[in-house]
Structure 1
Amino acid sequence: MNEPEERESNRKLLGKLAVVAVMMFGFGYALIPVYRHLCEVLGLNQLTQKDGTVAAPTNTQIDKSRSITVELDSNVQGTLRFRPTQRSVTVHPGEMATVVYEVVNSQSRPVTAQAIPSYAPQSATPHFKKVECFCFRQETLQANQAKQMPVVFYLDPALPKEVKTITLSYTFIEIGGLDKSAAAAGGERVAQ
């Protein structure tokens, strides 16, 4: 192929590629109204009702016929102060709830601790679903630091019907032991 034929061939190819690019853009642009119309016809992803008002999404997994009281308890092993900010919360099975625990390190040194949960009655344990919890990780508090830590949870709707009250208890355990040099100097604990 000589040079003028090659240029002509390249020009034709460039023209074809430009047409393809414009068609792809047009197809992608046309998909938006087609998608909206398809969702409207099928009733999918529909937040706007026929009268133009916005429908708030609802959680259909909530069992509003039942109310469960979750009592909150705390224990601590070590030098920290640890407590729930409220004594109880009432929730429906399937409903998300958030409770907050507060921990205070009144020591003049950092302290690392881990929370261990327990539930009563025991039959509630597999039905208590935590989405976020400080018990998932160790917590380090700096000297004289206070921290509020949330627990986000829901109760599985399969919770036995006879369960009306659940006690959620956390034991906050200081991690570490006595450092030998610190023990001789005054018995202070240090995190290992």
Structure 2
Amino acid sequence: MKDTNELKQRNKSLALKVAGIALGMTAFGFAMVPLYDVFCEITGLNGKTITVAEQGARDVKEREVTIEFVAHVDRGMPWKFQPPVAKMKVKLGEMHQVNFLAENLSGKHLIGQAVPSVSPGQAALYFNKTECFCFNNQPLDGRAKADLGLAFFVDEQLPANVHTITLAYTMYNITDAATDNNVAAQ
């Protein structure tokens, strides 16, 4: 009888510990997004932009900032991906449209996905994309080229100490993942 009660007590203790660990892991999973956002804000890495409707482009101010465009292709992806210009000056609140060039250098159909990053991190809150190729997958047939559009404005509330904003994109090959998702959906 004593062994049975002791065994029940140990099982109950173990069950509580396992439940506590599972609860802790769930809480940690939910905390990862805000913790990542804080990390990005502190370090200025991988700033996230805000997507808004075009009506957000309000009165044009006289202040100008420099926008630097950077384009990277992930290792192993046979694409050429480049910005239209290395940098451009823009007035705050003014809409701008640019096209990045993507070229599939392989003979195979590939699907790319661009992931943006804005630096410095504080500028990400004021860099507003109303249209962006990064919102969708970019399928490209072998040896094909495409102009990938970006429409944006910089909010006039941009802090005065920010004079240059770097918008960097990394293009990833998601062909296998996109194909797997299509198969799973059928």
Bin the TM-score by the shorter chain: 0.5 to 0.7
- After superposition, give the CA deviation of every residue in 1:109-158 in whole Å (9 maximum; x if it has no partner): 10001000001111100111001100000010011101111110000111
Equivalent residues in 2 for 1:73-88, closer than 5 Å: 73-77=70-74, 78-88=77-87
- Structure 2: tracts of 5 or more residues without a match: 1-56, 181-186
Task: Indicate the residue corresponding to 1:63 in structure 2.
Answer: 61
For residues 81 and 69 of structure 1, the distance between their equivalents in structure 2, rounded to whole angstroms, comes to 25
Residue identity over aligned pairs, in percent, reads 31
* Matched AA of 2:72: N
Shift of 1:176: 3.4
Q: Which runs of 4+ in 1 moved over 4 A?
A: none
Q: Which has the higher contact order (CA 8 A, sep 6+)?
A: 2
For residues 81 and 171 of structure 2, the distance between their equivalents in structure 1, rounded to whole angstroms, comes to 7
Residue 158 of structure 1: SS of its match in structure 2?
A: coil
Shift of 1:68: 0.4
Residue 61 of structure 1: SS of its match in structure 2?
A: coil
* Matched AA of 1:150: G
Equivalent residues in 2 for 1:88-167, closer than 5 Å: 88-167=87-166
C-alpha RMSD of the superposition: 1.8
TM-score using structure 2 length: 0.62
Structure 1 residues 141 and 60: CA distance shift in structure 2, 3 A: closer
- After superposition, give the CA deviation of every residue in 1:68-96 in whole Å (9 maximum; x if it has no partner): 00000011111111001211111111000
Aligned residues: 122
Residue 100 of structure 1: SS of its match in structure 2?
A: strand
* 1:111–1:191 CA contact under 8 A, matched in 2: no
* Matched AA of 1:88: K
TM-score using structure 1 length: 0.60
Shift of 1:60: 6.2
For residues 110 and 175 of structure 2, the distance between their equivalents in structure 1, rounded to whole angstroms, comes to 9
Shift of 1:191: 4.9
Shift of 1:177: 4.3
